[in-house]
Structures are given as structure tokens and as C-alpha cells.
């Protein structure tokens, strides 16, 4: 029977982790947490300057990090990112866009294409490019950042919700495909988290009153609370978890709003 010391459950020393959308917000928090637990973190974002700033900050803390900028709307850049990243043990597909607000019937063909290309197809292309190498080296972990918008209907961000629901299904499919070769694939579905992406929602007092009333913990989440879950899924602490969509929302999706 394989055993591991409790102190080593979250240790990522010797592992290389690629995090997309890591220039700010949730992606940056995930990169910081993985690096703090010993991983060599590859910071990827479409904004090269943001990548370099994040890497500089990590190195100033004594972490090991490198910049790998890429625009995931461009398939050729995704392929180049896979080549540049090389041997990756942990992949975190965090990059995404919200897309247009409004009824689905009003969404243009171009909007459908853009949202699904960035939120879903980029993750599929990254996993296709990197998971075979993980398998050759004995295994690894991929985490796809979904959302509670993919678990329930909504009026405003239908395309986003559809793409995130599909991303969680991609995690399940990949878990079945790659599990026999030692690769775990999971999704994480955050609720409302204090990030720049959620700034406009948090500035809406009426919305916040409703959301907090529907959230048993009566607060929004913090980026490090998602980052900690990703560390768990990437490390030995999550070694028997695969194909799961882990909801981290303070209870929003299980509440009756009372």
C-alpha cells in the first residue's frame, strides 16, 4: 500500500505547473499558491506584460516561475504554448471570457464562436497537447475552471454558462480517457469571488443583497479560497479525485435563499 506523510500531502516540489489567465485575479492567486507549495509555475496570459510582472513578483518571494504569454483565441499560439511549456505535471485552464450579456437569442454567431473558442476549445486543445506528455512521464493533474453559471440557468450570461457546463463535461470525459494512464482531470466551479472580473457585480448593491441572502456563508469568496482547492487537486491530497466538478460557492447553489 502506498502511503505519504501528512506533511507532504500538498507538496508540489519538483512539479511544473502551467496556469492560463494567470496575469491577474483568480489565475494569479492560483499561480501564487502553486508556487508557494513548491511548484515551478509557468505563468500564461495574453498580456505579456502581466505575465512578466507576475513572474517578477513570484521570483521576489523566492519562488520559481517563468512567463509563457499566449492568446488562447489563436490556435497557433496554443500549440506554441504547449511546445514552450514542455514537460508539465499540472495544467490549470483558467483563462476565459464572459461574453455578451443578454438573452441567448440575441447573441451573434461571432459571440458564440469567441466564447466557446476561448472558454472550451482552448482547454480542449491544451489538454490534447499536454496530457500525452504527462502520461509518458507517469501521470499528472489537470484542473479546468468552470463556474456555478454552468450549473443553473440564468438570464444574463447564457453563453458563458453553456461554455462552463461544457467545460465540466470535458473534465469528466478526459478523466475517463486518461485515468488509466495516471492522469486526473477535475473541474472547479467557483461562485462569486472577489476578482476584477466580478467588480461590476460587487458594485451593484441590489445584486449583492440578493446574492448574499442566497449564500449561507453570507459573503463572497476570496481568490485564495479557490487557489487552495486547486492546490489540493494538483497534489497528493487529491490523488483519488478525478472527473469531479468541485463547487466552491459558500453554499449559494444549495440554498433556498432564506
DSSP conformation class of 180: G
DSSP bridge partners of 193: 221
What is the spatial distance between Cα 138 and Cα 136, in angstroms, rounded to a whole number?
Answer: 6
What is the spatial distance between Cα 99 and Cα 120, in angstroms, rounded to a whole number?
Answer: 13
User: Quick one: angle between helices 48-60 and 25-36, nearest 10?
Assistant: 30
What is the spatial distance between Cα 91 and Cα 19, in angstroms, rounded to a whole number?
Answer: 6
Lookup: cell for 201: 457585480
Sign of the CA dihedral with 201 first, then 43, 186, and 157 last:
positive
Whether 89 and 15 have beta carbons less than 8 Å apart is answered as yes
DSSP string, 107-173: --HHHHHHHHIIIIIHHHHHHHHHHHHHHHTT-EEEEEE--GGGTS--SSBHHHHHHHHHHHHHHHH
Total residues found in the chain within this entry: 258
Q: Which of 82, 146, 160, 162 is labelled catalytic?
A: 160
Give Rg (Cα) of the chain. 18
Question: 71 catalytic, yes or no?
Answer: no
Q: What are phi and psi of 24, to 5 degrees?
A: -160, 180
Q: Where in the sequence numbering do the catalytic residues fall?
A: 160
Amino acid at each position: 500500500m502506498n502511503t505519504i506523510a501528512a506533511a507532504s500531502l500538498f507538496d508540489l516540489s519538483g512539479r511544473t505547473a502551467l496556469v492560463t489567465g494567470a496575469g491577474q485575479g483568480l489565475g494569479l492567486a492560483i499561480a501564487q499558491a502553486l508556487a508557494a507549495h513548491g511548484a515551478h509555475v509557468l505563468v500564461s496570459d495574453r498580456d505579456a506584460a502581466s505575465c512578466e510582472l507576475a513572474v517578477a513578483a513570484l521570483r521576489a518571494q523566492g519562488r520559481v516561475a517563468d512567463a509563457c504569454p499566449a492568446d488562447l483565441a489563436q490556435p497557433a499560439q496554443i500549440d506554441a504554448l504547449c511546445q514552450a511549456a514542455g514537460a508539465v505535471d499540472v495544467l490549470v485552464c483558467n483563462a476565459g471570457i464572459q461574453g455578451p450579456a443578454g438573452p441567448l437569442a440575441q447573441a451573434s454567431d461571432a459571440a458564440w464562436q469567441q466564447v466557446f473558442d476561448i472558454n472550451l476549445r482552448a482547454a480542449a486543445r491544451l489538454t490534447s497537447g499536454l496530457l500525452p506528455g504527462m502520461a509518458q512521464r507517469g501521470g499528472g493533474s489537470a484542473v479546468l475552471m468552470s463556474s456555478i453559471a454552468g450549473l443553473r440557468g440564468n438570464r444574463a450570461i447564457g453563453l458563458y454558462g453553456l461554455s462552463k457546463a461544457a467545460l465540466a463535461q470535458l473534465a469528466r470525459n478526459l478523466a475517463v480517457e486518461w485515468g488509466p494512464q495516471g492522469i486526473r482531470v477535475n473541474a472547479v466551479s467557483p461562485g462569486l469571488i472577489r476578482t476584477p472580473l466580478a467588480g461590476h457585480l460587487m458594485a451593484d448593491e441590489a445584486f449583492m443583497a440578493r446574492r448574499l441572502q442566497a449564500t449561507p456563508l453570507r459573503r463572497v469568496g476570496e481568490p485564495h479560497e479557490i487557489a487552495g482547492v486547486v492546490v489540493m487537486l494538483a497534489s497528493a491530497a487529491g490523488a483519488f479525485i478525478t472527473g469531479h466538478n468541485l463547487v466552491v460557492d459558500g453554499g449559494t447553489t444549495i440554498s433556498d435563499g432564506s
